[in-house]
Structure 1
Amino acid sequence: MSNFVFKTNSINNLESYYDAIVIGSGGAGLSAAIQAHELGLKVAILEKNNKLGGNTARASSGMNAAETNIQYQQGIIDSMTKFYQETLQGGGQLNDPDMLHFFVEHAPLAIAWLKDHNILLNELTITGGMTIKRTHRPASKEPIGNFLITNLLKEITKQHISVFNNAKVVELIHKDQDFAIKLENGQLISAKVVILATGGFGASKEIIKKYRPDLLSYKTTNQDGTTGDGLKLATKIGAQLIQMNFIQVHPTAQTDNKHTYLIGEAVRGEGAILINQAAARFVNELDTRKIVANAITNLHEDGAWLILDQEIRNHVKALEFYDAVGLVKTGQTISELANAISISPQALIKTIQRWNQAIAQNNDVDYHRTTGLERPIATAPYFAIHVHPAIHYTMGGIHIDQHARVLDISGNIIKGFYAAGEVTGGLHGNNRIGGNSITETIVFGREAAIQAAKYILSK
């Protein structure tokens, strides 16, 4: 991926009219634009930031889907029903059932659609709240986010779709079933439809204070531009917001430095454990994010430590990045690692021996962990990463139906207005399962474009 450089367009080259304007350049926006273009629409992407990719570019674990050919090729027999039930349970049974059914049923189609565009996710891992390996990622095991954005942008280039960065939309004007899109510099663009894919509000202290003041002191894994702009644009033309108090705190973020880094769930999915200052495990590391984050907070200590070895590291390429930016402590022996993180060597040795025994017996009698049991912590060198919970994802947002159509405060469809990705609410309930957000961006990004094309053709 390393040598690919995407060239954006200057906003001075914006035309006055498009069939569809996509606002946002993360996974939802890029997939929506590609699908819209392939359905014959004249489309442009507007991105307020200089850098493209949004929060998607930071994703690390993978993309969930059930009953895929990749699973079958690896001897994994999954079911959409099980995927649905585990996501529903993980979300506190507060997920919109119609959206969730659509999401689960279209997830394998999204994997296939990416493959059709030479974006191959043919390796599997597992995330918290899941009992089966259904988290698809590249064979290279590199973080999914950068891989996905880079390859979607390659497709955008191939199809000559216009992308404009530094193009902040400040107002949507909905009139006579068409839209006028006003930019910060005063430019006005007309479009038959608008697809909002602007991401959540995890970096907005203003919105977090309004809905979850108890989280104001938490750091965030979100990129700085994740400030809820799309919510403001949508509500000004009558869109309804739902479940805005549902904000996910990710259990494993490295917050000790100026920048906060998400330590992806795949680290635990491939076998890492969490320990406290006494070098003891204290939770099923692959329970839902909400439960694991609360367990770390309830230690009332300075976070926790992720512990892993070289074999686990070999299965999570993101560890190379974490190490390169100074987040990883190393020891050639377990005792050396314990000394490096100022905990008892004897206690850490005992904890790892007990964990390895659980692996050998395939039975975690202490915390009943049933996934991420493929490999013991037994291959030198050994590694530790200091982690704290941090604001990661906002489950609430614009109310859409299962076809990505934006609803007004009375529950009616706002014609020609679509939204996809983290800017929307309803899919995840009160807790998002790791690996579901990437699936959401592709499934509902595509659906927004499909419905937009259908709407335009019906006019």
Structure 2
Amino acid sequence: MAENYNRGNVVVNRRSFVKGAFGAGMLGMLSLAGLTGCAPKSEQSSDIDGGTFDIVVIGAGGAGMTAAISSHDAGAKVILLEKMSVAGGNTVCAEGGMNACCTKVQAEEGIEDSVELFANDTFVGGHNLGNMDLINFMCENSNAALERLSERGMYLTRLSTSGGASVKRIHRPEDGSAVGAYLVRHMCERCAERGIEAVTQMDVKEIVTDESGAVAGVRAVNLRTGASTLFNAKAVILAAGGFGANHQMLAQYRPELLEAVTTNHPGATGDGIMMAEAIGAGLVDIEQIQVHPTVEQSTSILLSEGIRGDGAILVNSEGNRFTNELLTRDVVSANEWAQPGGWAYAIFDHEVYEANTSIENKFVKRDLVVIADTLEELSQNIEVNPENFMAALTAYNDAIANNQPDPMGREKSRYPIVNAPFYAVKVAPGIHHTMGGVRINTKAEVLTDEGEVIPGLYAAGEVTGGIHGGNRLGGNAICDINVFGHRAAESAVEYVGVSAS
């Protein structure tokens, strides 16, 4: 019999894609429309036919939706499969922005940047472990990816600083919102406007290959019905994300992180990595797992690195400042863990609050922020030593006012904390990104450990490894998903031999 996809939700349009965004069971993720049923097929007696496509995209996060849109625009018949009930993946959790070099926004602000500088920052920030071919490709294509977002109605026009960057390079939404939810909302709209076929609660379990080892489709379980469904395709783009919510995998590779909270969405369980490995894909940097220094521990909500880039500082439980807040995430996290209790307060003023709408939406509305009219009152409210606290804030502000070196060596994004009211958010490190994954080349083709291409299999986003090395710079994930999501689509379209009409 034909598959039943709940035909009441079949129409793929803007309203059905976007309605119910914040009530779907995962913070900020946006509903995808359902997919019509298809005729049965006989590959396995238990399989229901999901149809035949040029390209199947696994995962409806930022990389997957980018790949689906680009594949569709190039003339491919594409379907987007998402195991969760909503779209967004880890992309929707992203708070900061997108790194890109040599952009119009940088030029307007007089920022001198280059592919070489961006690539070097990425390589050094990743502890010299990244694949320079992949890094260079990402950096060389970052501006084109940013322009493509603008062409698709997504405008990242606010420039800021992130840890590990030599210059202002991180591009944030024009309205000051968190970049992830902003992009996911618009990407869902772009998919709906194009009529891209998509189905949620479709859990892909297997990448199917033919006798030669080339990709022939995927087998998935419909989580609504439990039915096994076969989707035939000439190419598969794997965009299923990392494994930051898979405690078994985390324990295998980094057991010391087992008790840490995670900012990852519940679907980040490494399924795509395991499926690709099962058909011969090589893995790279799989043990490289990033912690982020500013995570609210009771909710696992991330306080954006962009907030530090806009001027926030960190103080410990004794009221002392202890680090350059714009060092790379791994260094700031290590410095934070070394403090009494292993946590800190992020301190900022009203100017930073007004520039970042996520503070109100994610922290103030959840009563996760301490607010005071004076810095002295703030120190009392957060119960730190007031003398230490005021000395730390005075030293920070005076160094800026007198154009003197920062006491902690902070050289960039030094903005005084002087505009009342003042804010404090208690934070500690949390698991944020898994840098390792399947091995790819600059065509986003998936490779074996021996470097052989698996025909018809492409990958993009956090499911891949090799780009970020031992530490990912803030802003590089959004760059990665947009550059390599599009690149995977280009390569898959070329492989299947279709063209836009």
Counterpart of 2:338 (choices 298, 314, 332) is 298
Question: Are 2:216 and 1:179 equivalent residues in the alignment?
Answer: yes
Question: Are 2:34 and 1:9 equivalent residues in the alignment?
Answer: yes
Counterpart of 1:341 (choices 360, 379, 382) is 382
Higher RCO, 1 vs 2 (CA within 8 Å, ≥6 residues apart):
1
Q: 1:272 is matched with which residue? A: 312
Q: 1:167 is matched with which residue? A: 202
Question: Are 2:214 and 1:211 equivalent residues in the alignment?
Answer: no
Q: Distance in 2 between matches of 1:364 and 1:352?
A: 14
Q: Distance in 1 between matches of 2:288 and 2:106?
A: 32
Q: 1:401 is matched with which residue? A: 441
* Correspondences of 1:357-396 after superposition (within 5 Å): 357-373=398-414, 375-396=415-436
Give per-residue Cα distances to partners, 1:361-415, cap 9 Å, x unaligned: 3433422111121x21011111100011010000000011111100013210101
Find the residue that maps to 1:16 and give its secondary structure.
Answer: strand
Q: 1:331 is matched with which residue? A: 372
Q: 1:63 is matched with which residue? A: 98
Counterpart of 1:449 (choices 489, 492, 496) is 489
Counterpart of 2:457 (choices 411, 417, 435) is 417
Q: 1:246 is matched with which residue? A: 288
Q: Is the 8 A contact 1:70 1:122 kept in 2?
A: yes
Q: Distance in 2 between matches of 1:170 and 1:100?
A: 30
| Mean CA deviation greater in 189-198 or 327-336 | 327-336
CA shift, 1:80, in A, is 1.4
Q: Is the 8 A contact 1:131 1:370 kept in 2?
A: no
Find the residue that maps to 1:326 and give its secondary structure.
Answer: coil
| Mean CA deviation greater in 83-92 or 426-435 | 83-92
* Correspondences of 1:112-123 after superposition (within 5 Å): 112-123=147-158
Q: Please tell me the residue identity of whatever aligns with 1:164.
A: V
Q: Distance in 2 between matches of 1:297 and 1:424?
A: 28
> Residues 178 and 81 from structure 1, CA distance in 2 versus in 1: closer, same or farther, beyond 3 angstroms?
closer
* Correspondences of 1:18-29 after superposition (within 5 Å): 18-29=53-64
Q: Which runs of 4+ in 1 moved over 4 A?
A: 1-4
Q: Distance in 2 between matches of 1:358 and 1:210?
A: 46
Find the residue that maps to 1:327 and give its secondary structure.
Answer: coil
CA shift, 1:178, in A, is 3.9
Counterpart of 1:132 (choices 155, 158, 167) is 167
CA shift, 1:126, in A, is 1.1
Q: Is the 8 A contact 1:125 1:270 kept in 2?
A: yes
Q: Please tell me the residue identity of whatever aligns with 1:103.
A: M
Q: 1:436 is matched with which residue? A: 476
Q: Is the 8 A contact 2:71 2:493 kept in 1?
A: yes
Name the TM-score, length of structure 1 as normaliser.
Answer: 0.96
Counterpart of 1:316 (choices 356, 362, 365) is 356
Q: Is the 8 A contact 1:169 1:183 kept in 2?
A: yes
Q: Distance in 1 between matches of 2:123 and 2:182?
A: 28
CA shift, 1:313, in A, is 1.1
Counterpart of 2:235 (choices 183, 187, 193) is 193
| Structure 1 runs not aligned, ≥5 long | none
Find the residue that maps to 1:108 and give its secondary structure.
Answer: helix
Q: Distance in 2 between matches of 1:359 and 1:189?
A: 60
Name the TM-score, length of structure 2 as normaliser.
Answer: 0.88
Question: Are 2:266 and 1:224 equivalent residues in the alignment?
Answer: yes
Q: Please tell me the residue identity of whatever aligns with 2:95.
A: S
Q: Is the 8 A contact 2:50 2:229 kept in 1?
A: no
Q: 1:154 is matched with which residue? A: 189
Q: Please tell me the residue identity of whatever aligns with 1:331.
A: A
Find the residue that maps to 1:314 and give its secondary structure.
Answer: helix
CA shift, 1:120, in A, is 1.1
CA shift, 1:183, in A, is 1.1
Q: Please tell me the residue identity of whatever aligns with 1:379.
A: N
| Structure 2 runs not aligned, ≥5 long | 1-13, 20-30, 39-48, 222-226
Q: Is the 8 A contact 1:334 1:345 kept in 2?
A: no
Give per-residue Cα distances to partners, 1:78-108, cap 9 Å, x unaligned: 1111111111110011110000000000000
Q: Please tell me the residue identity of whatever aligns with 2:325.
A: E
Q: Please tell me the residue identity of whatever aligns with 2:316.
A: N
Give per-residue Cα distances to partners, 1:248-267, cap 9 Å, x unaligned: 01011000x2x211111011
Q: 1:260 is matched with which residue? A: 300
Give per-residue Cα distances to partners, 1:42-65, cap 9 Å, x unaligned: 000000000110000010100000
Find the residue that maps to 1:235 and give its secondary structure.
Answer: helix
Q: Distance in 2 between matches of 1:306 and 1:245?
A: 29
Q: 2:109 is matched with which residue? A: 74
CA shift, 1:10, in A, is 4.0
Give per-residue Cα distances to partners, 1:219-249, cap 9 Å, x unaligned: 1010111000101110111111111110001
Question: Are 2:141 and 1:111 equivalent residues in the alignment?
Answer: no
Q: Is the 8 A contact 1:35 1:446 kept in 2?
A: yes
CA shift, 1:15, in A, is 4.3
Q: Please tell me the residue identity of whatever aligns with 1:180.
A: G
Q: Is the 8 A contact 2:56 2:217 kept in 1?
A: no
Q: Is the 8 A contact 2:92 2:184 kept in 1?
A: yes
